Structure 1
Amino acid sequence: MTKLIAFGDSIFAGWDGKENVSANQRIPEIIGQLLGWQVTNVAIGGTKYDDSSNGFTATVNKTDVSGFDYALVSYGVNNFSWPTALAIVKQNAVNGFEALKRKNPNLKILLELPTEDFRQGSKTLFDVNTSFWNQNQLDDMLIEVAKQEGLDYYDWRPDPLITYENANQTLGDGNTGVHPTPETMRAIAQRLANKFKQMTTEQSQPDNPSDPNKPDDNNPQPPVVKTIDGLKVDRLTDLFGIGTNVSNGVNQTINKINELYSQINRIMGTNSKQVQATLSAPDNSLTRPLRNYVLLSFFNLEGAVNDLVSLCNENWLCDPKTGAKTELVKLLRVEKLTTDSHYEDTVNYNWYLIENKLNTLIGYINKILKGE
């Protein structure tokens, strides 16, 4: 039987924000139930990537990991809420993974990026903590560690289960907490189990697979279906290029919205519709016209995205598993044109929200195009 060992904090230890759930309701154990694996869960509440006696590295060093096939590692929320410098967090994460690989070189490791934490008043991934870094930076850093150490990882940001808007339903301690309800624990476990299935499939591929493009008379290939590419908006990295960034982002978003309208018209027979950018970008000088352009551009984009969401909901282009309709997007107001990181983070979080919403709709439409 395949054996999995899980390292983590109170989320894996089964605290739902009000009480400890039974062992068979905890995320690692549910993964075991879904996959038919044997699970050992050594998660300890309040722990993180640090050098404490119960931190990740110390737990690895005092745990016998021989005989296990897979490891699942999930820390980070406590690093954000009770922070040290991000470079220190990174080094402690590296130390733990290096120790894990030394103790079992054959262990296949999945790093789960932390779900969103609202305990310190944070409402977005871009709100900074007392050490002046945010959850988005933590996630990016952990992906760097995963690539450096050759690990698989799961990133919640493209399709989050937990957001500030739904936290009162998905978290036992609501939108001032971090701990999933039992229902959310099961949803998290299902996502991670699917990731493990993907890892096992990749592991079982032959060393010299046949050419997938070569015809096989005994196993004819299905026709290739043209699907819709996801949206990826460039992020703002230079505040003195804000006008250019917003103008480019508006054009990218509008083009993708129009592509989706065309596909929906073709699939569902809806009325033909196209949208246009109506504002002209000023130059990049930090002036009131630029401030107004940025503010109104996001206002218009919010309306354009939500019109598309409403059309999809009206035509039942929604979650094929649950039938749940898509929630409208609510962008942050970009009001103060000041050259600081908060302004930059606000702009970039809006691009993240737009991307996430449109890519969710793209996923639903692509399933129809592929006949799934």
Structure 2
Amino acid sequence: MTKLIAFGDSIFAGWNGKSQDSNDQRIPELIGKAMGWEITNTAISGAKFDDSDKGFPSMAKTHSAAGYDYALVCYGVNDWCFPSGSIDYPLRKAKEGIETLKGQNPSIKILLELPTEDFRNGSTTLFDFNSQGWTQNQLDDGLIGVANQEGIDYYDWRPDPLITYDNASELLGDGNTGVHPTPATSQKIADRLVMKFKEMMSDNQPTTPPQPTNPTQPTTPIDPDKPVAPVAQIKIDRLDDMFHVGDNVDKGAKATLTKINEVYQKLSQVFGSDPQQAGQALVSPGNPLERPLRTYVLKTFQLLQEEVNQLVRLCNDQYLVDPDTGDKTPTLSLLRPTKLKLDSHYIDTVNYNYYLIEQTINKLIDYINQYV
């Protein structure tokens, strides 16, 4: 039987904000029930990515991963709500714990679940600062960086959030001032993670592309002597300081629109869809931190949202959907960077929009490249 070991805090331990859930209502056990797996749940309330006895590195050392097929790791809400220092500290400890698991079992497959949103300390968004001056969004980005460095899978809630400030009163036992899911919400979290584990399992199985019995011919024939190259994914340079906002947004917009046109061209080439063309980037006013720059950034992200969503709708119409679930790609809703101030909140907002754009376009590219 497949075996999974889970590491986490009160969310995995089954505290729902008002009372303790039974073991069979806890997220790791719900995953085990759905997958038919044997589960070891080591979660402890209040645990963090830290050096305490119940912190992730210590728990990884005292609960060996040897003999397990999968490990599920989810901490972070307590690291943000009760920070021990700079954001570098929990990221170092996350890396340390992951490397411990890999050292115990080099073949184990690890899924790092990013924390669901925490509304304690008066927070209403992922961009609110804690007492040490860093945000939940920054922690999420940092944990993805650790996952990429360690070569492990991760699950990010931000592109399709389950828990938001607007629905927290319904989905969290302690409401929109808390963080702990109700039993029904724990089931929804488990359902999402089950889908991710199934994806991880399929990625590790060799597959033979299905051969259609009656292939349809595109309206524009493809030259059989000229191979069709896959579309490369998009990576947008992040904004790192406020004194280059205009240049950065101009570069990001042009990169996005160029990539959208490349995808349109590939759709026409492979599927015979009607030629499409994205709009032109707006003219940047430069970098002075004045009203014209604020207006330019707002209008640019509005343009990019419209252009990305136009591409999404076309791909959905072409039935370029999730191959596992059949789900269509949801349209994009970008944040509005309405304030132009010299602070990291504005930079985070711009960079989070870039992240959302990348996630959406790259998902569509993955779907298209299956046919190339």
Same fold (TM over 0.5): yes
Distance, in Å, in 1 between the alignment partners of 2:153 and 2:322 is: 24
Shift of 1:118: 3.9
Letter of the 2:140 counterpart: D
- In the TM superposition, what is the alpha-carbon distance from 1:290 to its structure 2 partner? 2.1
1:8-27 correspondence runs (5 A): 8-14=8-14, 23=23, 26-27=26-27
Residues 66-113 of structure 1: per-residue CA shift (max 9 Å, x gap)? 6556543321122123323224424544565576678x4767462514
Following superposition of structure 1 onto structure 2, how do residues 1-150 of structure 1 map, counting pairs within 5 Å? Answer: 3-14=3-14, 23=23, 26-29=26-29, 32=32, 37-60=37-60, 63=63, 68=68, 71-85=71-85, 86-93=87-94, 96=97, 104=104, 108=108, 110=110, 112-120=112-120, 122=123, 125-142=126-143
Q: Does 1:237 align with 2:240?
A: yes
Cα distance between partner residues in 2 of 1:266 and 1:75: 45
Give the secondary-structure state (helix, strand or coil) at the position aligned to 2:328: coil
The range that moved more, 163-172 or 295-304, is 163-172
Give the Cα separation in 2 of the matches to 1:169 and 1:315.
Answer: 38
8 Å contact kept, 1:8–1:42: yes
Residues 360, 16 of structure 1: alpha-carbon distance in 2 compared, 3 angstrom cutoff: farther
Question: Judging changes above 3 Å, is the alpha-carbon distance between structure 1 residues 322 and 111 closer, same or farther for their aligned structure 2 residues?
Answer: closer
Cα-to-partner distance string for 1:12-61 (whole Å, 9 max, x where unaligned): 33456787666456443455567665332111233222344533345446
Please give the TM-score of this superposition, normalised by the length of structure 1.
Answer: 0.75
Q: Is 1:263 the equivalent of 2:258?
A: no
**TM-score, normalization by structure 2:** 0.75
* Aligned counterpart in structure 1 of residue 328 of structure 2, from 325, 336, 340: 325
Q: 1:357 aligns with which of 355, 360, 369?
A: 360
AA at the equivalent of 2:4: L
Indicate the residue corresponding to 2:280 in structure 1.
277
Q: 1:333 to 1:58 in 2, by over 3 A?
A: same
Cα distance in 2 for residues equivalent to 1:9 and 1:234? 34
Distance 1:350 1:159 in 2: 10
Superposed CA RMSD: 3.8
1:73 match: secondary structure: strand
Provide closer, same or farther for how the CA distance between residues 115 and 268 of structure 1 changes in structure 2, counting only shifts above 3 A. Answer: farther
Aligned-residue offset at 1:250: 0.8
Q: Which runs of 5+ in 1 are unaligned?
A: 203-222
The structural deviation recorded for 1:338 is 1.9
Give, as a single letter, the amino acid of the residue that structure 1 aligns with 2:252.
G
Further displaced range: 152-161 or 343-352: 152-161
1:248-295 deviations in Å (ceiling 9; x for gaps): 111111111112222333445443221232521122222332222212
Q: C-alpha distance in 2, partners of 1:73/1:108?
A: 13
CA distance in 2, matches of 1:122, 1:319: 33
Q: Deviations over 1:138-165 (max 9, x none)?
A: 23444565677x5634252696564649
Q: Equivalents in 1 of 2:94, 2:32: separation in Å?
A: 25
- Secondary structure of residue in 1 paired with 2:130: coil
Q: How many residue pairs align between the two structures?
A: 346
Q: Which whole-Å deviations, capped at 9, do the CAs of 1:152-202 have from their partners, x for residues lacking one?
A: 34252696564649967995568774634413312213313543675x779
CA distance in 1, matches of 2:165, 2:334: 12
Name the aligned partner's letter for residue 185 of structure 1: A
